[in-house]
Amino acid sequence: MALLPPFMLDAVTAIGVGDDATKRVWVGTGFLYGHFDKKLDETTKSYNVFLVTNKHVLKGRKRIYLKFNSANDPTSKDYPVDLLSRNGKERWVGHSQLSVDVAVMPINANALKEELMKYAFIQSDAHVSSISAMKALGVTEGARVFVLGFPMGLVDKVRQYVICRSGCLARVRDLLEGLTEDFMVDATVFPGNSGGPVVLQPEIAAIAGTTPITNANLIGVVKSYVPYHDVAVSQQTGTPRVIFEENSGLAAVEPVDHITETIALALKRQKNRLAYTKWKSKKQALGAQPPAP
List the helix and strand counts (H, then E) for the chain. 6, 15
Contact predicate 54/103, CB 8 Å: yes
Among the listed residues 169, 192, 177, the one whose alpha carbon sits nearest the alpha carbon of residue 252: 169
DSSP assignment letter at 252: E
CA distance 174 to 210: 19
pLDDT, tens only, 104-142: 999 999 999 999 999 999 999 999 999 999 999 999 999
In the chain, what are the domain boundaries? 7-281
Task: Name the β-bridge partners of 255.
Answer: 220
CB 74 within 8 A of CB 159: yes
Dump pLDDT digits (tens) for 47-104.
999 999 999 999 999 999 999 999 999 999 999 999 999 888 999 999 999 999 999 9
Q: Is 162 exposed, middle or buried (0-12, 13-18, 19+ CB in 10 A)?
A: buried
CA distances from 180 to 131, 172, 219, 253, 254 (A): 12, 9, 15, 11, 10
What is the C-alpha separation between 53 and 208, in angstroms, rounded? Answer: 37
Contacts of 14 (CB under 8 A, 6+ apart): 26, 28, 29, 30, 66, 67, 150, 155, 160, 162
**Is residue 254 over pLDDT 60?**
yes
Render pLDDT for 132-178 as a digit per residue (tens, 0 to 9). Answer: 999 999 999 999 999 999 999 999 989 999 999 999 999 999 999 99
Sign of the C-alpha dihedral computed for residues 126, 127, 132 and 134 taken in this order:
positive
Q: The whole model's pTM is what?
A: 0.90
Radius of gyration of the chain (CA): 21
Task: Tell me which fold the domain 7-281 belongs to.
Answer: Thrombin, subunit H (2.40.10)
